[in-house]
């Protein structure tokens, strides 16, 4: 009887949605703008099964809008009446004197949600559209201001967990050290200067996974596949090469969760090429991070910029719950071995200007 009642209710709901011209799960979204952000929003919304229409600044919509229902700002009232959107997303580049305030207010009174494009992109993807950010928007945002108590709690928790993990994993670390020494000549640990909290230098520890290079080479992960040892490939697959960084956490240089620390040699290039790059140093770097579990290793400057979008999202929303989520996803990566296999299989390197970037880890 209960099952029949449930099926009947679902049938009535589906019929009601059909009569109203709405299908369950098919949200109708009207995107205002023809900016790169607007295009990314259209792609993300379409991929998630939304019904999307676009309103552009010009009278003649761009070619990329052709598969969609499109119109100009002057046609906004007619498009709202025709589409009856559930949500309007504003992704205009310059809103001064161009934002259709009256039409948006009328839509809001009708019960249509009106949302900023940057906020919509953030909630859809778990990353921040750094190209569309403004310094004033960052300064005014309350989310980037963290209390000293929250920061102290996160660091204290990292210290306690790291100490316990070092004690518990000491036998495994000893076996890994023996395996590295038996397979190839060279030190057990790879030590590299990285950018730490507030831009300070720190010496990052990792288990060595490559044979020493006879000459200077490109240091993107994919360009050094031939140097990775058998033990090193196994360590990278399960992210076990990162275990010595628990010592960095105990030193107070890192937290368990945070943006991954970059090599000092990359600081000048990344600061010049990546918007808001200096904000990464506002918090302590981490053994794992939001960008790591969402994207993994970076092999090009473009991929580093993509990781910066995730890092900014973490800095904006950092909390105990987000840290826990990241740690759980990291454990899944370690258990199922989805470490850097995808990074190692990347195609040939692109040519970059400026200093040679180091391995993005």
More confident residue, 259 or 346: 259
Q: What is the pLDDT of residues 68-123, one digit of tens each?
A: 778 888 888 999 988 899 999 999 877 666 788 899 999 999 999 999 999 999 99
For residue 15, what pLDDT is reported? 58
DSSP per-residue codes, 282-349:
GS--EEE-HHHHHT--B-SHHHHHHHHHHHHHHHHH--HHHHHHHHHHHHHHHHHT-SSHHHHT--PP
For 147, the 3-state DSSP assignment is: coil
Residues 32 and 55 sit within 8 Å (Cβ to Cβ): yes
Q: What is the pLDDT of residues 203-251, one digit of tens each?
A: 999 999 988 766 555 555 665 667 789 999 999 888 899 999 999 999 9
User: What domains are there in the chain, each with its CATH number?
Assistant: 27-125 (3.40.50.2000), 148-344 (no CATH)
- For residue 92, report the phi and psi dihedrals to the nearest 5 degrees: -80, 145
More confident residue, 350 or 263: 263
> In angstroms, rounded to a whole number, what is the distance separating the alpha carbons of residues 302 and 299?
8
Residue 1: pLDDT above 80? no
> In angstroms, rounded to a whole number, what is the distance separating the alpha carbons of residues 334 and 327?
10
Residue 347: pLDDT above 60? no
Residues 159 and 250 sit within 8 Å (Cβ to Cβ): yes
Question: 6 pLDDT band (50/70/90 cuts)?
Answer: low
For residue 57, what pLDDT is reported? 78
Percent of the chain with pLDDT over 70: 79
Percent of the chain with pLDDT over 90: 45
Question: 353 pLDDT band (50/70/90 cuts)?
Answer: very low
Q: What's the pTM?
A: 0.79
Asked which of 67-71, 311-315, 352-356 is least confident by mean pLDDT, the reply is 352-356
For 93, the 3-state DSSP assignment is: coil
For residue 17, what pLDDT is reported? 54
From the DSSP assignment, how many helices (H) and strands (E) are in the chain? 14, 9
Q: What residue has token string 């580093």? A: 304
> In angstroms, rounded to a whole number, what is the distance separating the alpha carbons of residues 342 and 350?
17
Residue 260: pLDDT above 90? yes
For residue 299, what pLDDT is reported? 80
> In angstroms, rounded to a whole number, what is the distance separating the alpha carbons of residues 309 and 126?
9
Q: What is the pLDDT of residues 136-194, one digit of tens each?
A: 777 777 777 777 777 888 889 899 999 999 999 999 999 999 999 999 888 999 999 99
């Amino acid at each position: 009887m209960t099952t029949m009642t449930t099926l009947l209710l679902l049938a009535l709901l589906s019929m009601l949605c059909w009569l109203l011209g709405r299908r369950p799960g098919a949200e109708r979204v009207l995107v205002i703008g023809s900016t790169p952000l607007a295009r990314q929003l259209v792609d993300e919304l379409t991929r998630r099964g939304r019904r999307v229409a676009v309103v552009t600044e010009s009278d003649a919509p761009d070619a990329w809008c052709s598969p969609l229902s499109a119109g100009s700002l002057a046609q906004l009232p007619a498009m709202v009446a025709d589409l009856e959107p559930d949500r309007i997303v504003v992704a205009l580049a310059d809103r001064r004197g161009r934002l259709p305030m009256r039409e948006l207010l009328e839509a809001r009174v009708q019960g249509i949600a009106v949302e900023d494009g940057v906020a919509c992109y953030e909630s859809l993807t778990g990353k921040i559209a750094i190209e569309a950010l403004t310094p004033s928007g960052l300064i005014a945002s309350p989310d980037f201001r963290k209390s000293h108590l929250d920061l102290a709690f996160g660091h204290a928790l990292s210290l306690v967990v790291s100490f316990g993990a070092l004690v518990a994993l000491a036998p495994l670390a000893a076996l890994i050290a023996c395996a590295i020494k038996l397979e190839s000549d060279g030190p057990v640990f790879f030590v590299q200067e990285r950018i730490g909290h507030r831009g300070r230098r720190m010496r990052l520890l990792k288990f060595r996974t490559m044979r020493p290079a006879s000459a200077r080479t490109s240091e993107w992960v994919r360009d050094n596949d031939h140097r990775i040892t058998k033990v090193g490939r196994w360590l990278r697959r399960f992210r076990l090469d990162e275990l010595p960084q628990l010592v960095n956490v105990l030193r107070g240089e890192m937290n368990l969760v945070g943006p991954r620390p970059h090599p000092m040699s990359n600081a000048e290039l990344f600061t010049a090429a990546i918007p808001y790059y200096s904000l990464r140093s506002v918090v302590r770097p981490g053994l794992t991070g939001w960008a790591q579990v969402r994207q993994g290793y970076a092999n090009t400057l473009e991929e580093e910029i993509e990781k910066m979008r995730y890092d900014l999202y973490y800095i904006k929303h950092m909390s105990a719950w987000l840290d826990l989520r990241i740690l759980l996803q990291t454990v899944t990566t370690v258990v199922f071995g989805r470490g850097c296999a995808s990074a190692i299989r990347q195609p040939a390197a692109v040519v970059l200007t400026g200093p040679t970037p180091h391995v993005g880890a």
